[in-house]
Structure formats: structure tokens, C-alpha cells
Amino acid sequence: MSLLLKSKCSILYTRLKYSFMKRKNQVLWVAIVVCMLFVGTRTSAATKEILINRDSSQTTGRDVILFLEAPTGATEMRISNDVTFSDTSWRPYQRTKSWKLTVGRGQKIVYAQYKWSNGITSNIFNDTIQLEVPMGIDGKVEINKNVETTKSRQVTLTIEHSDWIEEMFISNTSDFNQFDARLPATQVPWTLTEGSGEKTVYVQLKNANGDFETYHDTITYKEPVGQIPGGTVLQSDTSQLYYLGFDGQIHPFLHSSVFHSWFDSIAKAKIRVVSSLTLRQYQVGKPVCIRGGTWLVRFQNFSQLYAVEPGCRLFPLRSEVEARIVYGADWKKRLVVLSEFESVSYSTVNRGVQDEAHDIIDRDNDGLDKATEDLYGSSDRLPDSDGDGLSDLEEVAVWFTSPIDNDTDNDGVGDMKQVLDEYLTDSIMSLSEDVYGYPGGLIIKSSADGKYYMNFIDGYTYFLSRKTTDAVFTSNQLDTTFVMSSSPFLSLTVRSGWHVRAASDVLLHPSLITNQGNLYAL
């Protein structure tokens, strides 16, 4: 088959794809079916259809990058660690994908299969890699470098662990009934329980073989007499409100929406009025951020929408379409506008796929790597190449619209408006979780069972309560105002065996996120 014919097939496929999937030209369909039959399956042997870490022979961690080369014209793919693909479904084709291998050392196989728009599927392809994880876990934890006493509830944990540790859990109890798994770190800020006495902190380490080991250390906490406890809201004689953190600093509330994201009334805040002289004894820290899972925000003079996650972190929404998918038609009622100055209090989640170690480029951090952008003709320096309001990733991976034409089907209606008005009205469909998802901190009422769940910053969803009057709901001072119904467009997959803890410090109090992505109470 000549290169010219293959090129023509590719052009036919592009024209067909950009027909917006509902205005199908029968001539194009016939042409592309012929091309698939005579070209598609024959060209697959020319390249490797799936490579793990660019065909590396081994890895010491389960997190890998898949490099995918579909047969000409394929529009969908499915990837699995299981040759039956029983744990996955068809997704839009992309050139690269983050992936997690199964637990346990030894040879690992990842399978890929591709599908064309006419329903024809390719052969099943695979690649292998050796997961070399040493046996055993070597660890140790020290509180405040092993001193015997402390006058502050906020301490620093120094954790020694092997390089092959994959996950760790930290708790003030030994049962680890917590929902906030952490990425491995060697220095972790931690908050002890209230009241003077001996305190024990437990650290559980997990490696890529699935093995666990628990370590602990103790310290005696001596609560200073007459000290205002951390976690108290203070009011100055000029009515300015501050949060007294466990770090010993006072953190101002700069906006009423920030305060009311934590307390639905002044009375519930249990405010302590203090003199200006008392306040001058404290160092002023960074302002309090909006509580995660409550308001949506944007900043003055900027159009970008964000969901606020726990830990002063902003989760950039890809478009108004994602806001509609996650929060429903009334999403604008959750939106508050903050001053540009307040943006310095937050960090921002990078939703891109840049990976220098594997030569993956994503300059605009839109989640679409440069190789895939080149495939569709979009720019890797603009998240929305055609300016229609839909990001390039959404157009390519979800809606099958052109990322370089703001009116793909030339009907006079822009692509984003068409998606909002025609596809997100009364229909219920399952959308790619690789593109859209629940931000961390959201309280979600499931439409399936009526129970309440919380999506957290680790990407997992946890059981919260059966009713909003349950102790775990009220002890975390969660506000029913911000409860949202589960989206009909997104699945709600709950992490089995784990649940939200009652009176969790990282939920009750303003918090920060470390560079490793771990959360701690401020």
C-alpha cells in the first residue's frame, strides 16, 4: 500500500472526526472503512503500539509512563494490566498516559487495544517491564529529632525510609482509621492531640510489593499555662478576625467569604476578643484561605475558574463545561471573586502531563502532550488554541471537536455553547475521568444510595456519613450549604475499607500542603 494512499486515509479520518460525530457523511464512512481494512491493520507492525517508560527493561516503582502509537485512524483505546480488559472501558486515544503497575515484584505486562470510529477493533498489543522492588522495609520515625518534651502541639516528624516506599500513613492512633494517605517524605509537620501528657505518633510505610510496616515515637507535651490554644479565632478591638494557628502565628481573614467557608455563623466560630497588645505578641502569618470544597473562585481581571481544595490549593477547571459537569447548572452561585492580591496565598494544581524524564512536553499544562497536539494541529503554548472556551484536551479527548476551529460543524454555534446547550442538558453520559473529575474537599451526596462521601486531595473518594446529623459530619463542622449531588456525568468510585475520620485536624482547621502534596493543619 503506497504512502500516498495512507496519507489520503489519514486526511479522510481527520475530516470525518471533525464532523462533530452527528453529521456523518456516508461517502467518508465508506472511504474510511476501506482504508481501515486495507491499511490500518497492516501498518500496526511498523511501530511498537505500546511502550512502558520508552521500552525500559526495568523500574523500581509502580508509576510508569505509557507511550502509545495507535494504528492509523484509530480514535479510541483501552489500557489494562489484565488481558481481558475487564477493569476498564474505551477512552479517547492519546499518545501518552500515566499508569500504575500491579503490586509485587517481577515481570509486569500492560495491554493496549485500539478502536476506529466504525467500531472495528485492533489486535491486542502489550509491553513488559521488570518491577525490581527490594524485599523488606527499613524505616524509623523521630518527633522533633527525638527530644523528650515540647510546649507546642505542632511538631516535626523526621521519617527514614527506603527509596522503594510507595505510600505512608500517619496517625495519632495505632489503628490508622484515616483517609489521608501521604506520599513518602522525610520531614512532615504534624499536630499532636490536645491536652498535656505523653503523645505517640504512628507511621505506617507501604512498599510497591504491598508490604506494610509500622513505626512510632513518643514525646511529652506540656501545655503552657494561660496560653490561648491553637485553632482559636481571635478578634481585635478593631473587629479584625484572625485564626491562631498551631504554628503560633495569627492568620488574618481578608474576605467575608473566606470566614463563612469555615463558619456559617459568628456564634459557631467561638470568637475570643483580645487586645491589640495581645495580638502584637504574635507574628502575622499568611492569610486564611477558603475552605476546600466550598466556593469556586476567580481573581479580578482574570477569567480562569478554580475550585479550592484543602491546603490553600487551587484546582483549575478546564472550562465552564467542567464547572457545569461537576457542580450542575447553578455552578455560578458558588462563585466568588477575590482580589488579585489574595491569589498569592494559594498554590495551583498543575493538571499538565509534562515529564522531562521521559521527554514528554506539555508547555501550556492543559493535559495534552505536544505529540498529541501535533497530531491534531493545536498549539502546545495555548490551552485553548481556537479560543472557543473549550480546552484543547476537552476537544480532542471528550467532545471530538476541532481544537483549531471554534465552530467545528460550521452551523454558526460555537463548540462550547453547543456542548453546554445540546450535550449537557437532559442527557446522562459517562465522561472520561482522565479529563474531568471531582476536586478535593467536595462533599458529595450520592444519587445512587443517598449517602454522603468526600473527595479528597489524593484523588480518592471516601465514605463520610449516612446523614448530615451523624457525628462524623458535625464533628468536622461541615456545612450542608456546600453539599452537592453526584454528577450524572462522573462515576463515584469509593475507596473500599477507608472512611473520613471524625474531628480531623486537616478538615477542622485551615491547612497547608507541602511540596510533596501532603496536607497538615496550620
pLDDT tens readout for residues 291-324: 999 999 999 999 999 999 999 999 999 999 999 9
Residue 47: pLDDT band with limits 50, 70, 90? low
Residues 260 and 279 in one domain: yes
- Output the pLDDT for position 400: 84
Residues 338 and 481 in one domain: yes
17, pLDDT greater than 80: no
Q: What is the total count of domains within the chain?
A: 5
- Whether 490 is in a domain gets the answer yes
| Beta carbons within 10 angstroms of residue 128's beta carbon | 11
How many whole angstroms from its chain centre is CA 424? 23
Alpha helices in 379-512 (DSSP H): 392-394, 415-418, 471-475, 505-508
φ, ψ for residue 464 (rounded to 5)? Answer: -110, -60
Q: Supply the Cα-derived Rg of the chain in whole angstroms.
A: 26
Residues 14 and 126 in one domain: yes
Among candidates 382, 381, 383, 484, which has minimal Cα distance to 435?
383
101, pLDDT greater than 60: yes
- Whether 290 is in a domain gets the answer no
Residues 179 and 155 in one domain: yes
Residues 55 and 97 in one domain: yes
- Whether 289 is in a domain gets the answer no
Domain boundary residue, one of 115, 131, 147: 131
Residues 33 and 121 in one domain: yes
- Whether 312 is in a domain gets the answer yes
Could you tell me the CA-to-CA distances from 145 to 142, 217, 492, 521 in Å, in that order?
5, 10, 42, 20
Please spell the DSSP secondary structure of 34-97, one letter per residue. Answer: HHIIIIIHHHGGGS-SEEEGGG-SEESSSEEEEEE-PPTT--EEEEESSTT-TT---EE--SEE
Residues 340 and 455 in one domain: yes
Q: 3-17 and 26-35 helices cross at what angle (nearest 10)?
A: 140
Residues 24 and 119 in one domain: yes
Could you tell me the CA-to-CA distances from 153 to 149, 150, 192, 408, 421 in Å, in that order?
11, 8, 5, 58, 53
- Whether 433 is in a domain gets the answer no
Residues 30 and 62 in one domain: yes
Note down the domain range covering 216: 139-221
Residue 208's domain is classified under what CATH number? 2.60.40.10
- Output the pLDDT for position 296: 97
Burial of 238: CB neighbours in 10 Å, binned 0-12, 13-18, 19+? exposed
Separation CA 426–CA 288 (nearest Å): 39
- Whether 506 is in a domain gets the answer yes
- Output the pLDDT for position 178: 60
Residues 115 and 212 in one domain: no
The neighbouring-strand residues paired with 337 are 298
Task: Give the CA diameter of the chain.
Answer: 86
- Whether 475 is in a domain gets the answer yes
pLDDT (tens digit per residue) in 221-256: 998 888 888 899 999 888 899 999 988 899 999 988
- Whether 343 is in a domain gets the answer yes
Up-side HSE of residue 296: CA atoms within 13 Å toward CB? Answer: 23
Is 472 in contact with 502 (CB distance < 8 Å)?
yes
Burial of 218: CB neighbours in 10 Å, binned 0-12, 13-18, 19+? exposed
How many whole angstroms from its chain centre is CA 249? 30
Average pLDDT, whole number, for the chain?
86
Domain boundary residue, one of 201, 221, 241: 221
Cell of 511: 491547612
Query: Among residues of the chain, what percentage have pLDDT more than 70?
Result: 89
Residues 373 and 337 in one domain: no
Q: For 76-84, what is the mean pLDDT?
A: 93
Strands 443-445 and 452-455: antiparallel
Residues 160 and 125 in one domain: no
- Output the pLDDT for position 20: 40
Domain boundary residue, one of 110, 131, 152: 131
